[in-house]
Amino acid sequence: MAIFSSNSSDPTRRRVVAGGVALIGSAALPRAAIGASAAGLASAEPFTARVRAFLATLEPDKRKAASFPWNGEAWRGWNYFGFTGYVKPGLRLEQMSGVQKEAAWAVMAELWSPAGIAKAKNVMLLQDILSDMGNATGKRSSERFSLSVFGTPSDKGAWGFRFEGHHLTQSVAVNGGRIVSVTPSSFSSNPNRVPSGKHAGLNTLKGEEALARRLFADLAPPLQKRARVSDSALRNIISYAGAERANAKKVGVPVAQMTSAQRDLLWQLVETYSVEHVHPALGDAQRGRVRTGDREAVHFAWHGPNVPEREFAYRVIGDNFVIEMASVDSEAQHLHTIYNDLGNVLGRAG
C-alpha cells in the first residue's frame, strides 16, 4: 500500500494548491467588524489567562517568534498544507522547554475537549509514523507544530490565536472578552489507517469518513444521483486560505429530502467537525451556531465512488458553514478536511 507525501505530483492538486497560494493575504476577505454575534460563542476569560500564562514563560526571542500583528497577512494566511514546508509560522513545540510545553498544552486544554486533544495528538503522531517509514525523514516531527498569538491577549480588544502544523490548523478569534470564532479548523491525516508497526490500526478520522460514507450509501438511488455532483474526486479541499467562502454554493441533496435517520447521520457528521473537538464551554454554542439558519436547506454533496479505500470527497454546506473532506490519493489514506464558519471567517463577519 502506497503512502502519499503532501508533495504530490498530481496535476489537479497542484492547480488547487497554487490557487491557495495566490489568495493568501489577498483582499478576498471582507473587512467588516469582527464577530458574527455581539455575544460571541463563550467567555474568553480562562482561555485568555492561559495564553497570557504561556507567553509569560517565554524568553524574549521565543516570545517574538510567537507574536504577530492582529488581522495582518499572517493571520489571514493559515495553512496546514505541506507545499510550503513542514515548518509553520510561530513558536514550535520542539523549540520549547518542558515548562513551556506544559503551558502550551494548558492553552489547548481550554480550547479543545479531551476528544479534540486526542485527535490532535493522533494527527501529530502521524508525522512521526511517516518519518519512520522514510517519508520526509528529518523534516517531519510530532513536535513541529507552532503556537502563534496575534495582537495582545486582552479582555477588551480583538486578538487571535493559532495552533498549526502539517495537517492541523486551529484559529481562535477573540473580541471584547468573548471567543467569537473557532475556525478555520482542520484535522487531516496521512495515513488515515495505519497499516503496520506499533501503531497499527490507528484510524484518525474514522468518524469523519464512516459517517459520510454511511449517509451516502443510505440515500435512495435517485437521491444518490443528485448528491453525486461529479464521478471523480476533487483531490483536495476547495475552501483554503483566502477562499473560505468560495465553496458556499449549495449543491447536492438538501436535508429536506432526507429521512429522519439520514438527518441524524448528517447532524452527527456536522457535530464531528464543529462540536466534538471543542471545550465543553464552547460545545453548546457551537451546536447552536451550526444549526442557525435554514436547517432544511443544508446540503450534502458527494464526489467520486463510495467504495472503501477508494478516493472520494464530500461537502456539507449550510447557511453559515461549510465542511469538506477530500482524499488526496487514490486509496483514501491521505485525507484533507476543513470546517469554516462562513458568517465569521477568522473572526470577521460579513
The pLDDT score that the predictor gives to residue 34 is: 40
The residue-averaged pLDDT of 249-265 equals 97
The pLDDT score that the predictor gives to residue 109 is: 98
The residue-averaged pLDDT of 188-196 equals 97
The pLDDT score that the predictor gives to residue 202 is: 98
Model confidence at 161: pLDDT above 70: yes
Model confidence at 20: pLDDT above 80: no
Per the CB < 8 A criterion, the answer to whether 101 and 93 are in contact is: yes
| pLDDT-wise least confident of 12-21, 50-59, 107-116, 324-333 | 12-21
In this structure, what DSSP letter does residue 194 have? -
The tens digit of pLDDT for each residue in 60-107 reads 999 999 999 999 999 999 999 876 679 999 999 999 999 999 999 999
Model confidence at 271: pLDDT above 60: yes
Smallest CA-to-CA distance from 81 within 17, 159, 3, 132 is with 17
- Rounded to 5 degrees, φ, ψ at 242 are 85, -10
C-beta neighbour count of 349 within 10 angstroms:
16
The better pLDDT of the pair 21, 315 is held by 315
Residue 174 to residue 182: CA distance in whole angstroms: 9
Q: Please tell me whether the peptide bond between 191 and the residue prior to it is cis, using omega within 30 degrees of 0.
A: yes
Q: Parallel, antiparallel, or unpaired: how do β-strands 145-150 and 67-68 relate?
A: parallel
Average pLDDT, the chain: 89
The residue-averaged pLDDT of 212-227 equals 98
Q: What crossing angle do the helices spanning 260-274 and 280-290 adopt, rounded to 10°?
A: 130
- Domains of the chain: which residue ranges? 32-187, 206-349
The pLDDT score that the predictor gives to residue 141 is: 97
pTM of the model: 0.89
Residue 260 to residue 10: CA distance in whole angstroms: 39
Q: Which three cell numbers, joined as nine digits, stand for 240? A: 483554503
The residue-averaged pLDDT of 45-72 equals 98
The residue-averaged pLDDT of 32-56 equals 80
